[in-house]
Structure 1
Amino acid sequence: MRLIAATFLALSIACNRAFELKDFTFGDHDYNSLLNVLNETNKKCPDVSRIYSLDEKTVEGRDLVVIEFTAEKPGTHLAGKPEFKYVGNMHGNEVVSREVLLALIAYLCQGYREQDPEVVWLMDNTRIHIMPSMNPDGWELANSRPRKNGQKPWLDGRANANEVDLNRISL
């Protein structure tokens, strides 16, 4: 229970605490800038992070990229060490989860580098996998549409490029 509480505490802190993220700015991160955030984070925190892609690509051929954080052997499953997975942007036109997870990525790296006790504890005791966008194709579509009366048509891009709502599929 302590692990779950600590993980949610970290998310809460990243979103609510007056904490200055030095290397991150909220915005509309397209696919390439999302990859840049992950790559820059990995360069700053190589000992506690690793980037990997899922085996399958999106309909339009984009990698589904994940960054993992842990203090001990990133990329190696350790029996008994809890693992958490955070997935954002399942609907391409819903960008808040994408931005919050990118902020969490920056927060975890910065917090570890600054030896923040909560972040160090999380890194020592868990493996955290973060996929900021499960539907980068939908986001790119939604963001590319022309504005009408100053507003984007945000229903565009909700599903993936095959018009499948990723939140409604059954395996």
Structure 2
Amino acid sequence: MASVREERAPWRLGRLRRRLRSPPLLLLPLLLLLRSSAQAAHIKKAEATTTTVAGSEAAEGQFDHYYHEAALGEALEAAAAAGPPGLARLFSIGSSVEGRPLWVLRLTAGLGPPPTATAAAAAGLDAAGPLLPGRPQVKLVGNMHGDETVSRQVLVYLARELASGYRRGDPRLVRLLNTTDVYLLPSLNPDGFERAREGDCGLGDSGPPGTSGRYNSRGRDLNRSFPDQFSTGKPPSLDEVPEVRALIDWIRKNKFVLSGNLHGGSVVASYPFDDSPKHVATGIYSKTSDDEVFRYLAKAYASNHPIMKTGEPHCPGDEDETFKDGITNGAHWYDVE
């Protein structure tokens, strides 16, 4: 995919609320695991692949194909099954324009067995399971732009590593999932993903609405369809973006203390805010009250990434673009209005 100024950063943190007592250090293993999974996404497993009667490769351990349509849900079910009972819950927060589910895999210890669909409906239970008091909720969202596809795969691989690592007793992962409530949403734009074609690089954006893999099926950029915190006018209508509406409704029902949004286009850890009151195109540092925390988390992630830490991603089209320490304030990079 071509790297253009319009592309949003591949990793954006959400707001960390100060009132929680859990220190950010407890969340760093998850961020560093994400970096490890991203590297794994580019490595084909060395062992010989196994083949079924139908001639398809076994999915376990393979990093050389994308999960299309129902295969995404099946891959997440398999990831959940890699862990012990009571560690994972797979549910949907809503549907895309074309009716594809917006899958979320929740991973944390002590969830217990999920109720049957009939029992859950009768009792009015949430498919995600009960909230666990004192355990910080963290979410990672991928594939907001349908043609930025690596994040969709990486989050599936991360889910598999978290679940299987907990089962095998990896001390770091056991501690993480015993103390943190993790939610992985691999694809917010499954319709766009199915339309995307390798090598398109957004060239279809000039066609009829909904033809580009970047946007949803109604031609809307999901990344620019959320209410603007600095706007004094009427909030935008969400009728054309059911994916955004579903995400907002889900966020409001929970108390996420940290969020990451994985994009393609450059190699940098970008932290809030993404815009400023003046909406100047670039160069305005728009900081939150938790600026030091976000800078710390962004730098911790970037410093463990072999390319990001150099601050020189050398992306096609922006070869001279640099980021000190591999991080940037979102609005200072460019304003997302």
Same-fold call, TM cutoff 0.5: yes
Which residue identity does 2:158 align to in structure 1? L
1:8 maps to what in 2? Answer: 31
Question: CA–CA distance in 2 between the matches of 1:42 and 1:86?
Answer: 16
Question: CA–CA distance in 1 between the matches of 2:70 and 2:201?
Answer: 20
Shift of residue 48, structure 1, vs aligned partner: 0.4
1:148 maps to what in 2? Answer: none
8 Å CA contact 2:80–2:160 kept in 1: the answer is: no
Question: CA–CA distance in 2 between the matches of 1:136 and 1:34?
Answer: 10
Question: CA–CA distance in 2 between the matches of 1:15 and 1:97?
Answer: 8
Question: CA–CA distance in 2 between the matches of 1:104 and 1:95?
Answer: 15
Q: Deviations over 1:36-83 (max 9, x none)?
A: 1111122332320010111x3100001101000001226221222111
Larger helix proportion, structure 1 or 2?
Answer: 1
1:128-139 matches, within 5 Å, as 128-139=182-193
Q: 2:87 aligns with which of 48, 54, 63?
A: 48
Say yes or no: does 1:103 pair with 2:141.
no
2:302 maps to what in 1? Answer: none
SS of residue paired to 2:165: helix
Question: CA–CA distance in 2 between the matches of 1:79 and 1:68?
Answer: 15
Question: CA–CA distance in 2 between the matches of 1:138 and 1:53?
Answer: 18
Question: CA–CA distance in 2 between the matches of 1:115 and 1:161?
Answer: 43
8 Å CA contact 1:23–1:106 kept in 2: the answer is: no
1:34 maps to what in 2? Answer: 72
Which residue identity does 2:32 align to in structure 1? L
Say yes or no: does 1:25 pair with 2:28.
no
Question: CA–CA distance in 2 between the matches of 1:139 and 1:154?
Answer: 13
Shift of residue 5, structure 1, vs aligned partner: 1.7
8 Å CA contact 2:107–2:183 kept in 1: the answer is: yes
1:114 maps to what in 2? Answer: 168
Say yes or no: does 1:163 pair with 2:201.
no
1:38-77 matches, within 5 Å, as 38-45=76-83, 46-54=85-93, 56-73=94-111, 75-77=129-131
Which residue identity does 1:23 align to in structure 2? E
Unaligned runs of 5+ residues in structure 2 are: 1-23, 46-58, 113-128, 203-211, 228-337
1:146 maps to what in 2? Answer: none
2:143 maps to what in 1? Answer: 89
Question: CA–CA distance in 1 between the matches of 2:220 and 2:156?
Answer: 25
TM-score by length of 1: 0.85
Question: CA–CA distance in 2 between the matches of 1:49 and 1:2?
Answer: 23
User: Per the alignment, do residues 42 and 80 of structure 1 end up closer, same or farther by CA in structure 2, a change over 3 Å counting?
Assistant: same
Say yes or no: does 1:126 pair with 2:173.
no
Which residue identity does 2:37 align to in structure 1? A
Shift of residue 16, structure 1, vs aligned partner: 4.5
Q: Which has the larger radius of gyration?
A: 2
Percent identity of equivalent pairs? 37
8 Å CA contact 2:143–2:186 kept in 1: the answer is: yes
Unaligned runs of 5+ residues in structure 1 are: 144-150
Question: CA–CA distance in 2 between the matches of 1:64 and 1:120?
Answer: 27
**C-alpha root-mean-square deviation of aligned residues, in Å?**
2.1
SS of residue paired to 1:77: coil
8 Å CA contact 1:10–1:118 kept in 2: the answer is: no
2:200 maps to what in 1? Answer: 153
8 Å CA contact 2:142–2:185 kept in 1: the answer is: yes
